[in-house]
Amino acid sequence: MNDRFTHYFRKHYGRPGLHLPSCRLGILVTLLERYSEGDEIILSPVQSDSVLASLIVAGLRPVFVDVDARSGNLRPGEIARVLTERTKVRAILTTHLFGCPEDLDALEALAREHGIELLEDAVHGFAGSKCGSRLVGTVGEATFLSISKFLPGAKGGVLLSEDEEFLQAAARRAHELLYRPQGKDRILSPFKAMLRHALPGLSRWRQARRKQESGVVERSFRSRHHPDFSAMTDKRADVRSDALLDDYMSFHDRFYRHPLSGVARRKTLEALDQSESVFLAMKEGQERLVADCPLRFLDPGDARYDVRWFRVPFATNRRDALRDFLRSRGIAVNYYWDSALHEYCDNSQLFVDCTEGSPRPAQWCENLVPLDPLQADGIIAALQGSDFAREAAR
Ligand X SMILES: Cc1ncc(COP(=O)(O)O)c(C=O)c1O
CA distance 266 to 158: 15
Handedness of CA 226, 230, 233, 237 (dihedral sign): positive
Question: Quick one: 75 or 196, whose CB is closer to ligand X?
Answer: 75
CB of 52 to ligand X, least distance (A): 10
* Three-class SS state of 211: helix
Question: Quick one: 148 or 358, whose CB is closer to ligand X?
Answer: 148
Instruction: Confirm if 104 and 77 have CB atoms less than 8 A apart.
Output: no
CB of 108 to ligand X, least distance (A): 20
Pairing assessment for the beta strands 157-160 and 142-145 based on DSSP bridges = antiparallel
Instruction: Please report, as ranges, the residues that interact with ligand X according to CB under 6 A.
Output: 22-24, 47-48, 50-51, 95, 121, 123-124, 146, 157, 246, 335
CB of 336 to ligand X, least distance (A): 10
CB of 122 to ligand X, least distance (A): 9
Q: Which of 379, 286, 281, 369 is nearest to 330 (CA)?
A: 379
Strand partners, 368: 315
Question: Quick one: 50 or 182, whose CB is closer to ligand X?
Answer: 50
Question: Quick one: 61 or 311, whose CB is closer to ligand X?
Answer: 311
Pairing assessment for the beta strands 130-131 and 134-135 based on DSSP bridges = antiparallel
CB of 15 to ligand X, least distance (A): 19
CA distance 240 to 221: 8
CB of 323 to ligand X, least distance (A): 16
Question: Quick one: 134 or 149, whose CB is closer to ligand X?
Answer: 149
Polymer length in residues for the chain: 394
Question: Quick one: 22 or 286, whose CB is closer to ligand X?
Answer: 22
CA distance 43 to 79: 9
Q: Write the CA distances from 111 to 118, 135, 274, integer angstroms.
A: 6, 18, 35
